[in-house]
Amino acid sequence: MRLYSIYEKAVDGDEDEMVVVADKFHWLAALLTPIWCIVHLMWLELLAYVGVAFILGFVTFFVGEDASWWIGIMVAILIGLEASSIRGRFLERKGYVLKAIVPSSSNDDAAYRYLATRVFAQKHKPAPAPQPSAPFLSAERPETSVL
């Protein structure tokens, strides 16, 4: 089983827009980061990646080609591991809200489980708790006689 993050964004009407993000290692993000950013329309993240690649190319002159190659591999692994978090922050920036984290075996099953619990929760809302009230306010207290 894998964990899936469910993000929702309220749109006009009763409909909600939902995105399911799997918490896993993303090979496309690790190997072809620019294409992964373009596929998900993450332009700011693409700009950050280009900046990191430029800095890594500049560092090559100081640490040597072998060391910069290993640094590049480490950056690619880090991007692959953190791809779901990067996408989640991108969605939050776009106005989506993290609604749930669901353990499931697939994207569709995670969406189904989330929607099923949401519908169940709407059908079975608990009754509001009664508000405790004092029998009399201080100004309304009846006079008592002292024996």
Q: In this predicted structure, what is the pLDDT of residue 33?
A: 93
Q: In this predicted structure, what is the pLDDT of residue 62?
A: 86
Say how far apart CA 4 and CA 100 lie, in whole Å: 8
Q: In this predicted structure, what is the pLDDT of residue 133?
A: 62
pLDDT along the chain (147 residues), means of 10: 90 77 94 94 94 88 85 92 94 91 91 85 68 59 59
Q: In this predicted structure, what is the pLDDT of residue 98?
A: 92
Q: What is the DSSP letter of 12?
A: S
pTM of the predicted structure, to 2 decimals: 0.72
Q: Are the C-beta atoms of residues 8 and 16 closer than 8 Å to each other?
A: yes
Say how far apart CA 110 and CA 103 lie, in whole Å: 7
How is the chain split into domains, by residue range?
2-115
For residue 111, which amino acid is it?
Answer: A
For residue 77, which amino acid is it?
Answer: I
Q: In this predicted structure, what is the pLDDT of residue 101?
A: 92
Residue 134 CB contacts under 8 Å (≥ 6 apart), including other chains? none
| The token pair that represents 84 in the structure block | 């779901």
Q: Are the C-beta atoms of residues 29 and 48 closer than 8 Å to each other?
A: no
Q: In this predicted structure, what is the pLDDT of residue 69?
A: 86
